[in-house]
């Protein structure tokens, strides 16, 4: 067994060993080696084009590394059934696209057997208690959509949520409401990896940050003290 | 039939050149700049049809059924290229189109021949097969075009479904269904209005050749039904085959409109 096959800390949530992504001849991520802790909220920060979204998408296998290894709780990512992995590692994108016509259908999209009580419980976890179950998803505000997308992701009972700029398209008030929901979820024991180009926003939600620049990991630590230069 | 049919003689064809001159005079009179193009089009039509006529004559008299199916195979290949190129960004688009058209044509024509609805002779297989191929080609092109647009524009939606642990088939099913629905609208519409807006080709040809209208429509009814089958099968299969080429190992949606991640070193 080569050293690369043995993660340094198998109990970590995610361990990345010398991960590179090359796309169209361009190095999107170069030689990333680091890990994410279980039960924490970790931020991936950096300017646009720094590779943070690509890194996030590697974690639920929406993208594949060109070289290097990724481990989830000690197991090589590619050894896990991808469908089971994605139910354990949920992802909510920037736009919070709605997949169904009504609130109830939206929440239960990935788990159609969900009871009405379970749907209501999920809605209360994302502070959408007042939303009628038969409400049309087309009529929801951006902030409501984002929280509904969180409820939809939580419905399949993941251990980790990957969040790609969840508040970047929202106004301050809606963004703060989403941030509060994320903080509560982490407090309940969920692990979160959050992509943000805004270090202050990330600092409001997370206690740990990886700073990326041009595909390279440039700093790691408390989001209030990491080195992050915006050109 | 050939003796009684009211077909123009070669002298008649020569006289119809007057009509081309009429078209040319419009172009010259209004300085449309289309004179050369019109003349080339008229000459091309003459040469192409003469060549096809001569080839058909050889196939009918010497080639037999095998040559007719060979002709059909060439039409399927051409149809596959035409339909596949409508979705040039789709991985293996031409393959998907060609396979879908081949199966759609095989099944549709197979049913017609097996039940002896049409005769198994080169004179029937080539023109009827040609109609089936063009119907299948149009449906395949529309389907692949739509699948390509969905894979590019609905990426977030498809990946949101994948991220809930859905299979690629489940994650792409709504887009696939919409592509097939859209692609079948022209075939359904032309079936609905057949005879009301235009007299279709097969029926027109038979009537020109002296066949009684009530006999000619029987042929046209069969043609419309076979076109529905060809379009439905070709569209459904194109979507299925395209779906396979859209997802890479590990249920990843491949990038459309950009080359995929390349191997380093």
pLDDT per residue of chain A (231 residues) written in tens, 0 to 9 = 444 555 444 579 999 999 999 998 999 999 999 999 999 999 999 998 899 999 999 999 999 999 999 999 999 999 999 999 999 999 998 888 999 999 999 999 999 999 999 999 999 999 999 999 999 999 999 999 999 999 999 999 999 999 999 988 889 999 999 999 999 999 999 999 999 988 888 998 999 999 999 999 999 998 888 887 654
Instruction: Report chain B's mean pLDDT, rounded to a whole number.
Output: 91
Q: What is the pLDDT of residue B199?
A: 75
Nearest to B160 among A22, A23, A93 (CB): A93
State the Cα–Cα distance between residues A194 and A53, nearest whole angstrom. Answer: 9
Interchain contact, B259 vs A95, CB within 8 Å = no
Nearest to A22 among B164, B252, B264 (CB): B264
Q: What is the pLDDT of residue A95?
A: 84
Q: What is the pLDDT of residue B263?
A: 36
Nearest to B165 among A22, A64, A156 (CB): A156
The answer, yes or no, to whether residue B264 has pLDDT greater than 80, is no
Q: What is the pLDDT of residue A135?
A: 95
In B, which residues are within 8 Å of A110 by CB distance? 161, 164-166
Q: What is the pLDDT of residue B196?
A: 83
B207 contacts chain A (CB < 8 A): no
State the pTM of this model.
0.85
Nearest to B165 among A24, A25, A110 (CB): A110
Closest listed residue to residue A17, CA positions, set A29, A37, A31? A31
CA distance B236 to chain A (A): 23
Question: Tokens at residue B183, please?
Answer: 């692609």
Q: What is the pLDDT of residues B113-139, one digit of tens each?
A: 999 999 999 999 999 999 999 999 999
In this structure, which long-range contacts are made by residues A63-67, counting pairs with CB atoms below 8 Å and at least 24 apart in sequence? A63/A21, A63/B252, A63/B261, A64/B248, A64/B249, A64/B250, A64/B252, A64/B261, A65/A19, A65/A20, A65/A21, A65/A29, A66/A20, A66/A21, A66/A22, A66/B261, A66/B262, A66/B263, A66/B264, A67/A18, A67/A19, A67/A20, A67/B264, A67/B265
What mean pLDDT is predicted for residues B36-64? 93
What mean pLDDT is predicted for residues B213-233? 93
In B, which residues are within 8 Å of A163 by CB distance? none
CA distance A61 to chain B (A): 7
Interchain contact, A97 vs B157, CB within 8 Å = yes
0.85 surpassed by complex ipTM: yes
Q: What is the pLDDT of residues A30-43, one digit of tens each?
A: 999 999 999 999 99
In A, which residues are within 8 Å of B159 by CB distance? 62, 91, 93
* Strand A208-213 to A41-45 pairing: parallel
Confidence of residue B5 (pLDDT cuts 50, 70, 90): low
A149 contacts chain B (CB < 8 A): yes
Interchain contact, B252 vs A66, CB within 8 Å = no
Q: What is the pLDDT of residue A230?
A: 57
A51 contacts chain B (CB < 8 A): no
Nearest to B162 among A22, A24, A86 (CB): A86
What mean pLDDT is predicted for residues B158-174? 96
Spell out the residues 6+ positions from residue B207 whose beta carbon is closer than 8 angstroms to its own. B199, B213, B216
């Amino acid at each position: 067994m080569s050293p690369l096959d043995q993660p340094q800390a198998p109990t970590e949530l995610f361990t990345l060993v010398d991960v590179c992504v090359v796309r169209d001849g361009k190095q999107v991520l170069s030689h990333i080696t680091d890990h994410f802790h279980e039960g924490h909220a970790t931020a991936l920060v950096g300017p646009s084009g720094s590779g943070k979204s690509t890194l996030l998408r590697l974690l639920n296998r929406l993208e594949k590394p060109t070289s290097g290894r990724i481990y989830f709780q000690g197991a090589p990512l590619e050894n896990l059934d991808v469908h089971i992995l994605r139910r354990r590692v949920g992802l909510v994108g920037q736009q919070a696209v709605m997949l169904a016509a009504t609130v109830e259908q939206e929440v239960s999209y990935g788990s159609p057997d969900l009871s009405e009580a379970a749907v209501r419980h999920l809605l209360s976890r994302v502070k959408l208690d007042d939303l009628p179950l038969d409400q049309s998803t087309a009529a929801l505000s951006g902030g409501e959509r984002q929280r509904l997308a969180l409820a939809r992701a939580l419905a399949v009972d993941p251990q980790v949520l990957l969040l790609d700029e969840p508040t970047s398209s929202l106004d301050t008030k809606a963004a703060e409401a989403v941030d509060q929901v994320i903080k509560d979820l982490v407090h309940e024991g969920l692990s979160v990896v959050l992509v943000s180009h805004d270090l202050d926003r990330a600092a409001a939600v997370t206690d740990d940050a990886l700073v990326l620049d041009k595909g390279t990991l440039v700093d790691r630590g408390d989001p209030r003290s990491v080195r992050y230069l915006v050109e | 039939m050939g003796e009684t049919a009211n077909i123009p003689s070669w002298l008649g064809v020569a006289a119809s050149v007057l009509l081309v001159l009429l078209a040319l005079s419009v172009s010259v009179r209004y300085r449309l700049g289309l004179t050369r193009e019109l003349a080339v089009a008229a000459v091309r039509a003459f040469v192409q049809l003469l060549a096809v006529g001569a080839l058909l004559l050889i196939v009918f008299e010497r080639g037999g059924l095998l040559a007719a199916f060979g002709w059909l195979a060439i039409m399927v290949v051409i149809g596959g290229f035409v339909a596949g190129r409508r979705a040039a960004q789709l991985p293996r688009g031409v393959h998907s189109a060609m396979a879908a058209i081949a199966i759609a044509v095989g099944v549709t024509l197979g049913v017609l021949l097996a039940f002896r609805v049409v005769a198994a002779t080169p004179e029937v297989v080539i023109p009827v097969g040609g109609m089936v191929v063009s119907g299948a080609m149009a449906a395949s092109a529309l389907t692949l075009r739509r699948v390509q647009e969905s894979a590019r524009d609905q990426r977030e939606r498809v990946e949101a479904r994948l991220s809930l642990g859905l299979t690629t088939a489940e994650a792409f099913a709504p887009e696939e269904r919409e592509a097939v629905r859209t692609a079948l609208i022209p075939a359904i519409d032309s079936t609905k209005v057949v005879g009301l807006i235009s007299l279709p080709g097969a029926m027109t040809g038979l009537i020109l050749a002296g066949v009684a209208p009530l006999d000619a429509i029987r042929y046209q009814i069969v043609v419309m039904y076979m076109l529905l089958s060809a379009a439905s099968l070709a569209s459904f299969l194109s979507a299925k085959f395209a779906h396979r080429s859209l997802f890479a190992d590990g249920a990843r949606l491949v990038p459309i409109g950009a080359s995929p991640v390349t191997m380093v070193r």
